[in-house]
């Protein structure tokens, strides 16, 4: 296949692609790159990888309290990616863009040794941006949903076999979906941005411990959280993983971690869904779990090499 | 080094980096990815590679007639890239952003096997966007400056030795700069966008022949251009390259290719610099050079594999 054929294919699916740059007029921009054998393997179907690449960018927009608007997609295609693979990627991006309510308006294609999906996404701020830096002492620390599923799903995938027991099997499949098919919290982010008492927000991409440190660093504060209050992904206990590690340090959750002076019942009522208070912001600079220091042991692309 | 150290370094140079997404409110977005051993080699200094990655994105904005505003940078770092390499990249991006008058507002870092620089850039439209699709029969076809230097510079680099004669040496060095240090035509793009008689525009990234086909395809027209009217990069004849191939098909020029009903003298006066009429738009669909079909023989990432 040559570039013209590829461009024709892209245009058929994304009619706004075509000029050197695309015309937009929006307000929040982010970028995330996924690389084969670093962020995913070829064992995962290409449309699913495409969806994940888009979803993690949309999650960044959600964490800002903004509405997804536009994205541009740069793809590095390895030799093994034939025309069917390209079709699968394009179809995956098109479906995911529809589901995630974001429009792909431009892109770039290169040859590469590994599959690379690099996306930049733009979102519209409807009320105000949610920053990491607004947390204040005595604010409550919240997470948007039960944690640990993504890390457990990755472990199950790496094992290569599902548990035999029915209930564990269900939990395993659901954990794998949490890992492979992230659900960005767009509606929640927009709702939180509209509530003045919400003070800071981040999405949990590196793991609760690491992202809580990020939020506290940006806000120049500390936090004390309680293990017993952190909601745990349903069935996590049946999957033979270290539950505490998965919940505290597991990355790629794409839940929101945020702070507010409002109580849990009040905030849940305002956003019309459960949110989970797991602790408090403090005026010191320490981050603690049940009174002991909580080290940032989540994902760090560079420390492991 | 770990990610925190890297982030701290990035923040020191790019103070707006820090949240999941950056707050902007602009109007044109583009993306281009450069990959080691595909788009550049390790023989080129890292700051120069960083500048080029940013410049090719800025050139896309220039081709739209917009003003560069913001960029996000996703970097895949291979094992060989140590802390000094990262410093060189960061410094290169910071210097280039200043020179190219664009602000880097966000980014992403991953481990990779090869160095990957994937950039998305946003620009502001001040008057109207220049599209590829507006060319009309009888419009003149223009290029913004002499062509062929970039392809010749690449050939000289690949030879690994400069010519001995002084004049050829000067020309060789200047061609290498044209190849390694693209000069996006931002001021010209903005000026052209403000002139209603300018009908279409594209930057020459794949080569004149290929990009003229792109422009004609988008405008549903043809073009007839004259070899003798195409300005040739100074000293190109002394470099032992095929001059016609370099001028007609050489990629990575980042000159502008555009169309207008205005004559060369009038248009040059309006933009206060020389621009070069090389032919006419026709109502047919053929692209010809001196009456014979001009095939798109410029760069195609995929046809060569």
Residue of chain B minimizing CA distance to A17: B30
pLDDT bracket for residue A8 (50, 70, 90) = low
Task: Count CA within 13 A, CB hemisphere, residue A183.
Answer: 14
- Residue B209 to residue B205: CA distance in whole angstroms: 11
- The predicted complex's ipTM stands at 0.84
The two three-digit tokens of residue B278, written as one number: 């090389």
Chain B positions in Cβ-Cβ contact with residue A60 (cut-off 8 Å):
20-21
What does the pLDDT look like over B270-300, one tens digit per residue?
999 999 999 999 999 999 999 999 999 887 6
| Residue B249 CB coordination number (10 Å) | 22
Asked if A120's CB is within 8 angstroms of B21's CB, the reply is no
Per residue, the 3-state secondary structure of B235-300, as one string, reads CHHHHCCCHHHHHHHCCCCCCEEEEECCCHHHHHHHHCCCCEEEEEEECCCCEEECCEECCCCCCC
Query: Given the structure tokens 């047919």, which residue do they identify?
Result: B284
Residue of chain A minimizing CA distance to B302: A2
Percent of chain B with pLDDT over 90: 67
Percent of chain B with pLDDT over 70: 90
pLDDT bracket for residue B5 (50, 70, 90) = low
Q: Select the more confidently predicted residue: B32 or B21.
A: B32
pLDDT bracket for residue B8 (50, 70, 90) = low
Asked if A303's CB is within 8 angstroms of B3's CB, the reply is yes
Q: How far is B19 from chain A (nearest CA, A)?
A: 6
pLDDT bracket for residue A82 (50, 70, 90) = confident
Percent of chain A with pLDDT over 70: 90
pLDDT bracket for residue B305 (50, 70, 90) = very low
Task: Mark residue A247 as left, alpha or beta (left: phi above 0; alpha: psi -120 to 50; beta: remaining).
Answer: alpha
Return the pLDDT at A26. 53
- Across B65-146, the runs of DSSP E, i.e. the strands, are 66-77, 103-111, 116-125, 140-143
- Identify which of B75, B105, B118 has the shortest CB distance to residue A29: B105
Chain B positions in Cβ-Cβ contact with residue A3 (cut-off 8 Å):
300-303
Asked if A72's CB is within 8 angstroms of B31's CB, the reply is yes
What does the pLDDT look like over B93-137, one tens digit per residue?
989 999 999 988 887 888 899 999 999 999 998 998 898 889 999
Return the pLDDT at B155. 95
Return the pLDDT at B139. 98
Is the confidence at residue A6, as pLDDT, over 90? Answer: no
The full DSSP string for A50-77 is HHHHHHHHHHHHHHTTEEEEEEEEEEEE
Residue of chain A minimizing CA distance to B26: A25
Cα distances (Å, whole numbers) of residue A275 to A229, A242, A246, A298, B140: 11, 24, 19, 22, 63
If 0-12 CB within 10 Å is exposed, 13-18 middle and 19+ buried, where does residue B228 land?
A: exposed
What does the pLDDT look like over A91-113, one tens digit per residue?
899 899 999 999 888 878 888 99
If 0-12 CB within 10 Å is exposed, 13-18 middle and 19+ buried, where does residue A95 land?
A: middle
| Residue A290 CB coordination number (10 Å) | 12
Chain A positions in Cβ-Cβ contact with residue B30 (cut-off 8 Å):
20-22, 72, 106
Chain A, chain B: beta-carbon pairs less than 8 Å apart: 223
- Cα A147 to the center of its chain, rounded Å: 12
Is the confidence at residue A218, as pLDDT, over 90? Answer: no
For an interface test with B, give the residue of A2, A10, A21, A201 to mutate (most B CBs within 10 A).
A21
Percent of chain A with pLDDT over 90: 67
What does the pLDDT look like over A137-177, one tens digit per residue?
999 999 999 999 999 999 999 998 888 888 899 999 999 99
Average pLDDT over chain A, rounded to an integer: 89
The two three-digit tokens of residue A164, written as one number: 């035999």
Asked if B203's CB is within 8 angstroms of A20's CB, the reply is yes
Is the confidence at residue B18, as pLDDT, over 50? Answer: no
Sign of CA dihedral B160, B92, A70, A24: negative
Is the confidence at residue B304, as pLDDT, over 50? Answer: no
Sign of CA dihedral A42, A45, A48, A54: positive
Is the confidence at residue B27, as pLDDT, over 80? Answer: no
Weakest mean pLDDT among A49-53, A186-190, B22-26? B22-26
What does the pLDDT look like over B179-221, one tens digit per residue?
999 999 999 999 999 999 999 999 999 999 999 998 998 899 9
The two three-digit tokens of residue A245, written as one number: 């590690």
């Amino acid at each position: 296949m040559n570039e013209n054929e590829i461009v024709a294919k892209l245009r058929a699916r994304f009619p706004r692609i075509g000029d050197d740059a695309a015309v937009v007029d929006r307000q929040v921009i982010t970028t995330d790159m996924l690389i084969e054998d670093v962020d995913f393997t070829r064992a995962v179907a290409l449309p699913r990888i495409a969806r994940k690449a888009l979803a993690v960018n949309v999650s960044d927009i959600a964490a800002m309290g903004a509405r997804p608007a536009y994205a541009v997609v740069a793809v590095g295609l390895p030799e093994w990616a034939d025309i069917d693979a390209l079709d699968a990627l394009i179809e995956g991006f098109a479906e995911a863009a529809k589901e995630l309510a974001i429009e792909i308006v431009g892109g770039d294609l290169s040859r590469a040794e590994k599959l690379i999906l690099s996306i930049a996404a733009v979102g519209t701020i409807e009320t105000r941006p949610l920053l990491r830096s607004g947390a204040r002492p005595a604010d409550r620390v919240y997470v948007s949903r039960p944690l640990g599923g993504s890390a457990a799903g990755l472990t199950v995938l790496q094992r290569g076999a599902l548990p035999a027991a029915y209930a564990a099997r269900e939990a395993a499949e659901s954990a794998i979906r949490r890992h492979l098919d992230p659900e960005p919290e767009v509606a929640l982010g927009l709702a939180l941005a509209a509530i003045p008492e919400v003070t800071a927000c981040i999405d949990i991409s590196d793991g609760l411990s690491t992202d809580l440190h990020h939020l506290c660093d940006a806000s120049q504060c500390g936090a004390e959280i309680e293990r017993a209050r952190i909601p745990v992904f349903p069935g996590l206990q049946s999957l033979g993983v270290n539950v505490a590690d998965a919940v505290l340090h597991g990355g790629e959750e794409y839940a929101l971690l945020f702070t507010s002076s409002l109580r849990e019942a009040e905030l849940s009522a305002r956003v019309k869904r459960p949110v989970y208070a797991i602790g408090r912001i403090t005026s010191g600079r320490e981050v603690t779990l049940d009174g002991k220091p909580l080290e940032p042991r989540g994902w760090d692309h560079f420390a492991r090499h």
